[in-house]
Amino acid sequence: MAEITLQHLRKTYGKVVAIKDLSLDIKDGEFLVLLGPSGCGKTTTLRALAGLEMLDRGRVIIGGHDVTALPPGKRGIAMVFQSYAVFPHMRVYDNIVFGLRMRGVSPGEQRKRAEEGAELLQIASLFDRYPAQLSGGQRQRVAVARAIVMQPDVLLMDEPLSNLDALLRLHMRAELKRIHREVRSTTVYVTHDQVEALSLGDRIAVMLEGEIVQCDTPARIYNAPANRFVGSFIGSPPMNFLSGTLRTVDGRLTIERDGARIPLPPARKVTAAPADGTVLVGIRPEHIEVTAAPAPEALPGRVVVLEPIGAQQLLTVRVGDDIVKVSTPPEFQADAGQQIWLRFNPDRIRLMDAQTGAAILS
Amino acid sequence: MVVADAELPQVAPRGRVDWTPYLLVLPTLAFLGVFFVYPMAQAIWLSLTDQQSGALSLTNFRRMGGDLYFIPAIRYSILIMAIAVPLQVALGLVIALLVNSRFRGHSAFLYLTAIPIGISDLAAGLIWLSIFTERGYLNAFLDAAGLAAQPITFLTYEHTSWLIGAIVVTEVWRATAIVMLILLSGLQLIAKDYHDTASIFGAGRWQTLRHVTLPLLRPSLQTALIIRTILAFQLFATVVALAGRQIPVLAGEAYFWYSLYRSPNVASAYAALILVLSAAITFGYLRLLRQRELEMTA
Amino acid sequence: MTLRRLGIYSAVVVISAWVALPLVLITLAAFSPREILYAWPRRIWPERFTLDTMLFFVRSAGVLQSVVNSLIVAVLTIVLAFLISAPTGYALARYRFRGRDAVQLAILATKMFPATVLSIPLAVAFIRWGLYDRLIGVAIVHATLSIPFVTVIVSSVFVGISYELEEAAMTLGSSRLQAFLRVTIPMALPGLAAAAIFTFVLSWNEVFAATILTLNNRTLPALIINSVVAAGAPLHYRFAGGFFMVLPALIIILLIRRYLLTLWGVTVR
Ligand SMILES: Nc1ncnc2c1ncn2[C@@H]1O[C@H](COP(=O)(O)OP(=O)(O)O)[C@@H](O)[C@H]1O
Ligand SMILES: [Mg+2]
């Protein structure tokens, strides 16, 4: 059993606040992804969890034990570093059993576990090589094997895929998912790549400037971003944001903009009233429909450019002063400058406070 | 001044006030305090006290200044430095540029030309003695070439300029390697982009060298100049091996006053003089070069 | 293009000859029969090689003992220099701390004012401290002189070894010290060996301090210079001595060639 609780972590480097006041609960066996732009404090959080950073404040609790004061080796964790940190002067086998040796595990048991780990990662044939004789992908497998033979309660990974080329990255992503299903260690995984996060995580904690801004399932993070930042960080292209006015018309919440009126489904409620009725309307590109004829609930716009992106096309539209990105089917056609109308799916609309950027619609 | 080491890793151990680094540098600082700062202070103190009475006085400097060898020692030290250092810098620069051009076999060339850094001034003096001595290799070559029927005596007080020449040649042979290594490590810090940019703008090799490489290399050239100039005052065993005391130099006089005349105080006066000259020259170089810099940027 | 190549190669040949020829000649002199060194016309290539000259040198009074002394001093110097400067090199590589620049500057300054200035006052102090004419005294001065070199090599060695490796070892259950000993040290060994070798050369070659600080317990350079100055040693003794002193330099450059640039790669801003 190894659930993790982080309580009010704070870490500063001189004047730089790397983690502000971070609290998080991670369930046993969960795959949790820390996602955020570079410099937001993901690595620092992970290293604090590993015991490689001294915290200014806060407590780290793993499996019910307060490990805040324990050294890394006594926390029941194992870590895969971004650089892999495979020991260059040791053969692959010695790398893999390094931790077991430090623990005083018997040689027979070392061998057995190394073979199991190597099988899981398909590197048994590399045992006698030195890291210099391995490719980047193989080195990374060694790093993962070295971590999992420890049978850690908690497995930590800091951007493990960022040094691989695109194809290998896709492949290893699937591998990591498989491995997690087999070993079931509680896993904390750091990345700045939202696609990775969406595909791997049971839950994603999105970080910004040393704080967690939203921690939720990938679906919720994608569909119901807690604020403007999360919406614009996740998805490619990200969520569109346009200003609009929120009114109650005939007892229904209605968004008004450029003469269009978009009534919202009656089930949706505002959780906090916007100051002066002005709101940010958030809508994903795939939840916009393009029509050639005007309609009362459709926003008028002009086509800027249409780009094919494989299975879909990406349409860029100018609506007033805003730019809106729309996903369209491959057969859709439009010319630059052409007048069109955009119809937003009212079930999928997010409303954000224009000032704070926080979501205000249930 | 900075040691040209790599950027510090971001992963350096982190913490609040960590006393470990101070603990780690303590032995060095303590050792330098006892065996470096203290003797320097002691040198100045000794040079300012009378050997018999122990009272403060300028006797040592008077004895040093009144000595027959004193003026020649200063003259020759400066003269040898003034000829040898520019030659070392010029030749060192040529070798460094050659190595940096990465022709085939450049590493072997580098190692060969670096060999003299492992050779002491004494050994270098003895090596060149085998060449310049009366029945030495130079005369043998001249004889073989039919240029000298009788051996020529190069190393004699009758031809001080020849003696000085021999010393300069030996010094250039021995110490160019250090200059070369300083300049080469400087050259390797200069990003290749500058050269590419220069050649895109149509600069030829010589123009690139003059207007791009040399200005960028200035810090290393400065270092080489300062180190060589200061070390030139340490000149001792080479001179003794080739010329005995016929060409007196400052460090040599310190040695003779200490060993021959058993006067540590006058020897200390020489040491103090070398110290002051070294400091003055470093300071002077830095001032001069800084001034230039201001003019250039103004 | 080919003209440029021609230029480069002729310069390389001339400069190589300039560096190598004296080394070849002293080797010839050291293995030529004694007579031809004094004969005229002087042969460049002896008709036969002989060990007599070298043997004469090695058997001369005090030479063997002084070689032993030189070796002892060099080993003591290495031990002292590492005890004193290796921790500093490590600190400069692995820690950012206030005063780091000042420490670097202080260490660099020792490169600027070597043996001459130190030796004479130290001789006076050593007489008082009972270190005069003792090998440890010479080793102490040599260690002082080698501090800047050992520090920069050690620090460049550790800069080259990622600290993340030690951290990885710690997450795998090592203590800090174990991680350092099992991961960093094995990787640092070749670089540390280079520093040790350079220290050896520095000590083996040093003349001035060794001469000033000893009387009976001479190191080899001190013995040679003394026999040249005071006793007017014969030419073949001098040539053999010169060759004998150069010998380690040749081997050593090969061993430390990767660190040549680190040793002197210092820049004044
Ligand atoms: N050793 C350090 N010294 C000073 N600042 C640091 C150090 N490590 C990280 N930081 C700062 O802390 C913040 C968070 O860093 P980090 O956790 O590495 O971000 P991430 O991994 O999310 O990119 C950044 O602003 C970074 O510059
Ligand atoms: Mg990071």
A146 and A272 fall within a common domain: no
CATH number of the domain enclosing B160: 1.10.3720.10
Phi-psi domain of C62 (left: phi exceeds 0; alpha: psi -120 through 50; beta: other): left
What is the DSSP code (8-state) at residue A264? P
CATH number of the domain enclosing A337: 2.40.50.140
Question: How many Cα neighbours within 13 Å face the side chain of C255?
Answer: 18
- At residue A320, does pLDDT exceed 70? yes
Question: Residue B9 — very low, low, confident or very high, per pLDDT cuts 50/70/90?
Answer: very low
**Mutation to probe ligand 1, out of A10, A19, A43, A207 (largest number of atoms < 8 A from CB):** A43
SS3 A308: strand
Distance from CA of C160 to the nearest CA of A (A): 12
A158 and A285 fall within a common domain: no
Residue B167, domain extent: 68-297
A215-239 pLDDT tens trace: 999 999 999 999 999 999 998 889 9
DSSP string, C98-110: TTHHHHHHHHHHH
| Residue A101 in domain | yes
pLDDT (tens place) for every residue of chain C, 269 residues total: 588 889 899 999 999 999 999 999 999 999 999 888 888 888 888 888 999 989 999 998 899 999 999 999 999 999 999 999 999 999 999 888 888 989 988 887 777 766 677 888 889 889 989 999 999 999 999 999 899 889 988 888 898 888 999 999 999 999 989 999 999 999 888 888 888 988 998 899 999 999 999 999 999 999 999 988 877 889 999 999 999 999 887 887 778 877 777 766 543 32
**CA distances from residue C181 to A34, A91, C176, C189, C226 in whole angstroms, order as listed:** 33, 17, 9, 11, 45
- At residue B1, does pLDDT exceed 50? no
Q: How far, in Å, from the CA of A161 to the mean position of ligand 1?
A: 19
Residue A126, domain extent: 4-233
Question: Residue A1 — very low, low, confident or very high, per pLDDT cuts 50/70/90?
Answer: low
Instruction: Provide the CA B108 distance to its chain's centre, in angstroms.
Output: 25
Interacting residues of B145 by C-beta distance below 8 A, sequence separation 6+ = none
**pLDDT given at position B293:** 57
Question: Residue B162 — very low, low, confident or very high, per pLDDT cuts 50/70/90?
Answer: very high
| Residue A359 in domain | no
| Residue A336 in domain | yes
* Sheet architecture: strand order including A4-13: A16-26, A4-13, A57-62, A65-66
**pLDDT given at position B55:** 84
B84-99 pLDDT tens trace: 999 999 999 999 999 9
- Cβ of C267 within 8 Å of Cβ of B110? The answer is no
- Percentage of chain A surpassing pLDDT 70? 99
Q: Give the whole-angstrom CA distance, residue C190 versus residue A146.
A: 26
The domain tally of chain A equals 2
Rounded to the nearest integer, the mean pLDDT of chain B is 85
SS3 A75: coil
Position with higher pLDDT, C232 vs B166: B166
Residue having the nearest C-alpha atom to atom 18 of ligand 1: A43
Helix (H) or strand (E) holding A313: strand A312-319
- At residue B7, does pLDDT exceed 70? no
A143 and A39 fall within a common domain: yes
- At residue B13, does pLDDT exceed 50? no
DSSP string, A182-228: HH--EEEEEES-HHHHHHH-SEEEEEETTEEEEEE-HHHHHHS-SBH
**pLDDT given at position B221:** 87
| Residue A362 in domain | no
**pLDDT given at position C256:** 81
A169 and A210 fall within a common domain: yes
Question: Residue A200 — very low, low, confident or very high, per pLDDT cuts 50/70/90?
Answer: very high
Q: Is the CB of A68 under 6 A from ligand 1?
A: no
Domains and CATH numbers, chain C: 1-60 (no CATH), 62-264 (1.10.3720.10)
A125 and A270 fall within a common domain: no
**pLDDT given at position C264:** 63
**pLDDT given at position A276:** 66
Angle C22-C27-C29 from CA coordinates, rounded to 5°: 95
Question: Residue B42 — very low, low, confident or very high, per pLDDT cuts 50/70/90?
Answer: confident
For range A348-357, the mean pLDDT: 86
Omega before residue B248 within 30° of 0, cis:
no
Question: Residue B281 — very low, low, confident or very high, per pLDDT cuts 50/70/90?
Answer: confident
A329 and A310 fall within a common domain: yes
User: Which of A53, A89, A153 has the most C C-beta neighbours within 10 Å, making it the best mutation to test the interface with C?
Assistant: A89
- At residue B263, does pLDDT exceed 80? yes
The domain tally of chain B equals 1
A278-318 pLDDT tens trace: 888 999 999 999 888 888 888 999 999 999 888 889 999 99
Question: Residue B14 — very low, low, confident or very high, per pLDDT cuts 50/70/90?
Answer: very low
Q: How far, in Å, from the CA of C187 to the mean position of ligand 2?
A: 26
Q: Is the CB of A227 under 6 A from ligand 1?
A: no
- Determine how many CB atoms are found less than 10 A away from the CB of residue C115: 23
**Residue that finishes a domain, picked among A212, A233, A254:** A233
- At residue B254, does pLDDT exceed 60? yes
Q: Are B116 and B176 in contact (CB under 8 A)?
A: yes
Question: Residue A128 — very low, low, confident or very high, per pLDDT cuts 50/70/90?
Answer: very high
A60-77 pLDDT tens trace: 999 999 999 999 988 999
User: Which of B11, B16, B17, B18 has the most A C-beta neighbours within 10 Å, making it the best mutation to test the interface with A?
Assistant: B11
Helix (H) or strand (E) holding C112: helix C100-112
Residue of chain B nearest C262, judged by CA positions:
B185
Angle B175-B178-B181 from CA coordinates, rounded to 5°: 145
**pLDDT given at position C267:** 39
What is the DSSP code (8-state) at residue A359? B
**Residue that finishes a domain, picked among A176, A206, A233:** A233
**pLDDT given at position B223:** 82
By DSSP bridging, strand A186-191 and strand A154-158 are parallel
- Cβ of C172 within 8 Å of Cβ of A102? The answer is yes
A61 and A186 fall within a common domain: yes
| Residue A270 in domain | yes
Q: Is the CB of B13 under 6 A from ligand 1?
A: no
**pLDDT given at position A309:** 86
Q: Give the whole-angstrom CA distance, residue C239 versus residue B136.
A: 11
A226 and A244 fall within a common domain: no
Helix (H) or strand (E) holding B72: helix B70-100
A56 and A144 fall within a common domain: yes
**pLDDT given at position C179:** 92
Ranking A170-179, B145-154, B175-184 by mean pLDDT, the lowest is: B145-154
For range A338-348, the mean pLDDT: 90
Distance from CA of A54 to the nearest CA of B (A): 6
**Which sign does the torsion angle of CA C196, C197, C202, C204 carry?**
positive
**pLDDT given at position C263:** 67
A165 and A223 fall within a common domain: yes
Q: How far, in Å, from the CA of C161 to the mean position of ligand 1?
A: 21
**Residue that finishes a domain, picked among A233, A266, A297:** A233
Quick one: which ligand is closest to A158's CA? 2
What is the DSSP code (8-state) at residue C95? -
| Residue A282 in domain | yes
Which of A50, A88, A103 lies closest to C173 in CB terms? A103
- At residue B50, does pLDDT exceed 70? yes
* Sheet architecture: strand order including A299-309: A288-291, A339-344, A299-309, A312-319, A322-328
CATH number of the domain enclosing A159: 3.40.50.300
Q: Is the CB of A42 under 6 A from ligand 1?
A: yes
- At residue B203, does pLDDT exceed 90? no
Residues in chain B: 298
- Percentage of chain B surpassing pLDDT 70? 91
Contacts of B16 in chain A (CB under 8 A): 54, 56
